[in-house]
């Protein structure tokens, strides 16, 4: 199973603390040794770093731990390959331009028969089911709206496409268009929001403790979505299967509730 990490904040925020935990799960404290990637939005621009090397041993991941990129939307992924060989073109997050926006997508799970879904104006570069699903979503959005629709319309369309893919297997997904971070829980995803009064947090995977009160202002709101909790002394909320969140400026909205009986599913390899 791959692992996902997403962040939405109302001020540019350093993700290194949370990314450190995810990176170690890529071949050290977790089995996700088949590459990793992270995308940082800065307004409409986006930087992405990809490496088919395990993140726990990646030189690039080490560099990023020492390089503070502040962003309001982040999507990161560590991969345990299942479909599609280990290569740069198969490394999440994937990205495409639609309506003059940079869209970024990361997925974990398995989708049955997804490559039979017909594509529109977007085609996969690599061979993963995940990138095919992303291209299908982008093609459907492009066919439905000629230009960028209003947020409520776009939210609903994204939720409908995610629900379709949810019916085909396991579809844990993070997606962003530079304005909104969408999260869909297929099997396991949890979240938290940090806001004043800020406390301290300690990573589960290593002995790194941060006092957020010294790094933030009272107006900062930072939400994090992840496959499993990254810190041991904060309260993470499990999402139900099928639930869709929108995150804008750190504010979380439950766009679509899932199945209440399905939260907190144990993590089981293999996937994605």
Nearer Cβ to a copy of itself (80/92): 92
Distance (Å, rounded) from C-alpha 213 to C-alpha 41? 24
CA distance 150 to 248: 14
| Bridge partner residues of 254 (DSSP) | 245
Residues 6 or more apart in contact with residue 213 via CB below 8 angstroms = 197, 198, 199, 200
CA torsion, ordered 166, 128, 4, 163, to nearest 10 deg: -10
Question: Shortest distance, CB of residue 40 to a copy of itself, whole angstroms?
Answer: 9
| One residue of 87, 193, 202, 262 binding a copy of itself per CB under 8 A | 87
Q: Which is nearest to 51 in space by CA: 43, 41, 63, 42?
A: 63
Indicate whether 38 belongs to the interface with a copy of itself (CB under 8 A). no
The alpha carbon torsion through 271, 24, 8, 160 (nearest 10 deg) reads 0
DSSP state of 178: S
Residues in contact with a copy of itself, shown as a per-residue x/- string from 174 to 193 under the rule CB under 8 A:
--------------------
Residue 97 lies near a copy of itself (rule: CB under 8 A): yes
Closer residue to a copy of itself (CB): 96 or 187: 96
- E strand intervals along the chain: 3-14, 36-42, 45-51, 70-78, 94-98, 101-108, 172-176, 181-184, 190-195, 200-202, 209-211, 221-226, 237-238, 244-248, 251-256
Stretch that binds a copy of itself, among 26-34, 92-100, 193-201, 250-258 (CB under 8 A): 92-100
With a CB cutoff of 8 Å and minimum separation 6, the contacts of 159 are: 182, 184, 244, 255, 256
| Per-residue contact string for residues 217-256; x = within reach of a copy of itself by CB under 8 A | ----------------------------------------
Asked if 44 interacts with a copy of itself (CB under 8 A), we say yes
Residues of span 134-173 touching a copy of itself by CB under 8 A: 142
Range in contact with a copy of itself (rule: CB under 8 A) among 23-31, 98-106, 150-158, 212-220: 98-106
Question: Is 2 an active-site residue?
Answer: yes
The least distance separating a copy of itself from the CB of residue 45, rounded to whole angstroms, comes to: 3
Rounded to a whole number of angstroms, the minimum distance from the CB of residue 170 to a copy of itself is 25
Alpha-helical (H) ranges within the chain are: 16-25, 59-65, 129-144, 151-166
Question: Does residue 126 interact with a copy of itself by CB under 8 A?
Answer: yes
Residue 65 is a binding residue for a copy of itself (CB under 8 A) = no
How big is the chain, counted in residues? Answer: 272
Binding-site size, a copy of itself (CB under 8 A): 31
Sole window of 88-96, 106-114, 204-212, 251-259 interacting with a copy of itself (rule: CB under 8 A):
88-96
The catalytic residue positions are: 2
Binding residues vs a copy of itself (CB under 8 A): 42-50, 59-60, 63, 67, 87-91, 96-97, 99-102, 121-126, 142
């Amino acid at each position: 199973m791959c692992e996902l990490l997403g962040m939405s904040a109302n001020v540019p925020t350093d993700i290194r603390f949370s990314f450190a935990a995810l990176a170690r799960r890529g071949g050290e404290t977790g089995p996700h040794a088949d590459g990793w990637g992270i995308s940082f939005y800065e307004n409409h621009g986006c930087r992405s770093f990809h490496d088919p090397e395990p993140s726990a041993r990646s030189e690039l991941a080490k560099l990023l731990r020492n390089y503070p990129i502040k962003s309001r939307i982040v999507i990161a992924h560590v991969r345990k390959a299942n479909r599609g060989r280990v290569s740069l073109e198969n490394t999440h997050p994937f990205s495409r331009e639609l309506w003059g926006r940079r869209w970024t997508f990361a997925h974990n799970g398995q989708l049955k028969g997804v490559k039979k879904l017909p594509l529109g104006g977007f085609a996969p570069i690599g061979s993963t089911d995940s990138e095919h699903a992303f291209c299908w979503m982008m093609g459907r959005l492009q066919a439905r709206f000629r230009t960028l629709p209003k947020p409520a319309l776009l939210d609903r369309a994204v939720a409908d496409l995610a629900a379709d893919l949810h019916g085909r297997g396991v579809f844990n997904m993070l997606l962003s268009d530079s304005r909104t971070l969408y999260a869909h829980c297929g099997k396991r995803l949890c979240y938290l929001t940090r806001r004043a009064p800020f406390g301290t947090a300690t990573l589960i995977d290593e002995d790194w403790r941060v006092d957020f009160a010294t790094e933030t202002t009272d107006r900062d709101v930072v939400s994090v979505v992840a496959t499993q909790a990254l810190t041991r002394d904060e309260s993470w909320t499990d999402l139900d299967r099928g639930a869709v969140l929108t995150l804008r400026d750190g504010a979380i909205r439950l766009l679509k509730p899932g199945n209440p009986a399905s939260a907190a599913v144990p993590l089981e390899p293999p996937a994605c």
